[in-house]
Structure 1
Amino acid sequence: MAPIGFEAFMFRKLDIEMKSAEASIFRCFENKHQLLVFLSCWYWEWVHYLIHIQTLKIKSQEEQLRRTIHQLLQSSEPSNRTEYINENLLHKLLVWEFVKVIHHHDVYDENRQGMFKRRKELVDKIA
């Protein structure tokens, strides 16, 4: 999705890239907006987890904040923490396309369903 952009992205292109049947993607996501919301939720869950791990046993609030800011900046850097996550690509996708998640006509329903819970928790933790 990131190399071509959200507007040009099609499930069929993803299926070809994944060497998968198109129907398999539609079992999980009815449309590409749902996929983008999922990736957004997944990204914020990942960042929340990384920050939690880095600040778990730190007593000093100043040190917690310092590590949180460091981790926020590091979450967009390529790393070898996991083979199945391209943090840099995921971060770029969210920078480019997140506005389409929050400026969507279903955003209030998605919010009530808890789609943005982890992002809100992370904002509250930093505050």
Structure 2
Amino acid sequence: MQQSILLIDEIGFEAFTFKKLGERIGSNESSVYRYFESKHKLLLYLSSWYWSWIEYRLVFGIANLVVPEDRLARAITIITEETIDQSDTEHINEAILKQIIIGNFTKTFLTKEVDEENRSGFFQIYIRIIQRVAAIVKEVNPEYPYAESLVSTIIEGALHQHFLKDHICSITNCNEKVTATDFYLNLINTVLNPIQL
């Protein structure tokens, strides 16, 4: 998994092949196919790993927070902040993996197979994160009728804002001083007004 992440980061997902990965790890292409039937399935696996890691951080990050507004602010921060590599997971560089997710996550579900893959549970962790945070939104403001749409928009939008900051900075306010987290905390404060996080 580590080498697939590094190779995708180096050459991009479009240029990535199992043949190139096999050469990188000193194995043949067919050995990679024993684990993943396609590079799409590999991307689904990497995405699931990433969202599992986010969910882990989310669960522990809000566990001791009693006030719903504090839990929501912390949850939004975890979902939207810059990622640094964690030393306790030597086989995964989370910062590089996040860059792959930023550029490629929508490719996991903007496919003809999305309904079948959803039924098979490929997006279960991602959905669970949205539902967890949406439940906190409902605690903060039980009258707000669009909690799931708001949270899924924040999660997708945060990936998009990180991408724009790095590649098309003329259409985002995110930069070295203004983070995606700043933007989404402001957004959620405005949407759930008068609640201030």
Tell me whether the two structures share a fold, i.e. TM-score over 0.5: yes
Q: CA deviation at 1:79?
A: 2.9
Q: Which runs of 5 or more structure 1 residues have no equivalent in the other structure?
A: none
CA drift of 1:33 comes to 0.7
Tell whether the 8 Å contact from 1:47 to 1:75 is kept in structure 2 after alignment: no
Instruction: Return the TM-score normalized by structure 1.
Output: 0.90
Distance 2:80 2:26 in 1: 33
* Larger relative contact order (CA 8 Å, sep ≥ 6): 1
**More deviation, 88-97/49-58:** 49-58
Bigger Rg, which one: 2
Higher alpha-carbon deviation: 63-72 or 109-118? 63-72
Q: Secondary structure at the match of 1:63?
A: helix
Q: Which residue, out of 110, 122, 129, partners 1:122?
A: 129
TM-score, normalising length: structure 2: 0.60
Counterpart selection for 2:71 from 61, 64, 67: 64
* Higher mean C-alpha displacement, 78-87 vs 67-76: 67-76
Asked if 1:16 is matched to 2:14, the reply is no
> Mind listing any 5+ residue stretches in structure 2 that lack a counterpart?
1-7, 135-197
Identity fraction in percent: 35
Q: Please name the residue that 1:2 is paired with.
A: 9
Q: CA deviation at 1:75?
A: 6.2
Question: What is the CA RMSD across the aligned residues, in angstroms?
Answer: 1.6
Q: What is the distance in 2 between the residues matched to 1:42 and 1:32?
A: 15
Q: Give aligned pairs, total.
A: 127
Return the letter of the residue paired with 1:102: F
1:125 offset after TM fit, Å?
1.4
Q: Does the residue aligned with 2:127 lie in a helix, a strand or coil?
A: helix
List structure 1 runs of 4+ shifted beyond 6 angstroms.
none
